[in-house]
Amino acid sequence: MRALVTGCQGFLGPFAVAALQRRGFAVVTTARRGGDAAVDLVGRGMVDAVLEAFAPDLVLHLAAQSRLDACERDPAAARLVNVVLPAELAGRLGSRLLAVSTDLVFDGRGAPYGERAPVAPLSVYGATKAEGEERVLAAGGRVARLPLLFGPDAHGRGASASLRRALLGGQTVPLYTNEYRTPLHAADAAAGLAELLPLCSGPAVVHLPGPERLSRWQFGQRFCAVHGLDASRLVPVECQDPLRPRDVALVGSWRAERSFATMLAEA
């Protein structure tokens, strides 16, 4: 089967491509800069052009505007990418589309969140992702919500890579003690998405939580212990940002095969 991965140049993209290839998919990719087709999918007619050119059996939609500050600065642009684009894909593909969303569609006041929990976003990013989910589901598409992802990619991106870089550079690193997530290694997230993609008759909304609920401060402490880094440079701080929910721990039927300790060892 042929799988199209959008947003292939993002942090999760290479992990997803590798996971799909391991499962025997013929993978084609697109991104604004790179991939098999370097196109901006929000451009007029570009969705139809890409689908016609590649004729994919299934589409894993990763492309998004995920920077909170960028979404706040330009809500209209964020809505084009996070709402209009996935809605258009779902309208063409129905259940053959698996669109990736986020734990930040929740407000942090009702954790842990199951797959049927009502959304209540605090930020423009969360609001556009929530609206994108609604449009995808209304068109018969499927949604996979992901937590905070970590694990270094080839470009040194990711929460663990930036933390390691800062500590090795002698910097102090402030980490929130009151913001809780269910962190997941990007390789495990990609494996889960590759498993879910062909299940067109499966659940409409699936959560892919990491094995443990942790604050960013706890994550940093555990990461330093595993990798022999100086944890004294971690500075505990409380998040005061009204746009960031305090606890968006996810629960669901999907379970990661690896333990959090094993994931951290490869981060």
CB neighbours of residue 201 within 10 Å? 7
20 and 85 in a single domain? The answer is yes
Residue 253 resides in a domain? no
Predicted pLDDT at 34: 86
103 and 32 within one domain: yes
In the prediction, which pLDDT does 158 show? 76
| pLDDT of amino acid 43 | 93
Inside any domain, residue 84: yes
Pair 220, 163: CB distance under 8 Å:
yes
- Cα-flanking dihedrals φ and ψ of residue 37, to 5°? -135, 115
Q: Look at residue 195 in the predicted model and tell me its pLDDT.
A: 97
pLDDT at 149: 95
Q: Same structural domain for residues 156 and 90?
A: no
CB atoms within 10 A of CB 225: 12
Specify the CATH number for the domain of residue 237.
3.90.25.10
Asked whether residue 200 falls in the same domain as residue 133, the answer is: yes
Q: Where are the alpha helices (DSSP H) in the chain?
A: 13-22, 46-54, 68-73, 75-79, 85-93, 124-138, 159-168, 186-196, 216-227, 260-265
Catalytic residue among 113, 125, 176, 180, which? 125
Provide the pLDDT for residue 79.
97
Q: Are residues 94 and 172 in the same domain?
A: no
**Claim to verify: residue 12 and residue 142 sit in the same structural domain:** yes
125 in active site: yes
Quick one: 236 and 125 in the same domain? Answer: no
Task: Indicate the number of domains in the chain.
Answer: 2
Q: Which domain holds residue 44?
A: 2-149+182-207
Q: What is the pLDDT of residue 216?
A: 95
For residue 237, the model assigns a pLDDT of 97
> What pTM was computed for the model?
0.95
Whether residues 87 and 162 fall in one domain: no
Let me know whether 236 and 156 are in one domain. yes
Q: What does R_g of the chain's alpha carbons equal in angstroms?
A: 18
Let me know: does 66 contact 104? Beta carbons within 8 Å.
no
Distance CA 76, CA 82 (A): 10
**Could you list the mean pLDDT of each consecutive 10-residue stretch along the chain, which spans 267 residues?**
96 96 97 92 95 97 95 97 98 98 98 98 98 98 97 79 89 96 97 97 96 96 94 95 96 96 94
Same domain, 70 and 47: yes
CATH number at residue 66: 3.40.50.720
The answer on 172 and 189 residing in a single domain is no
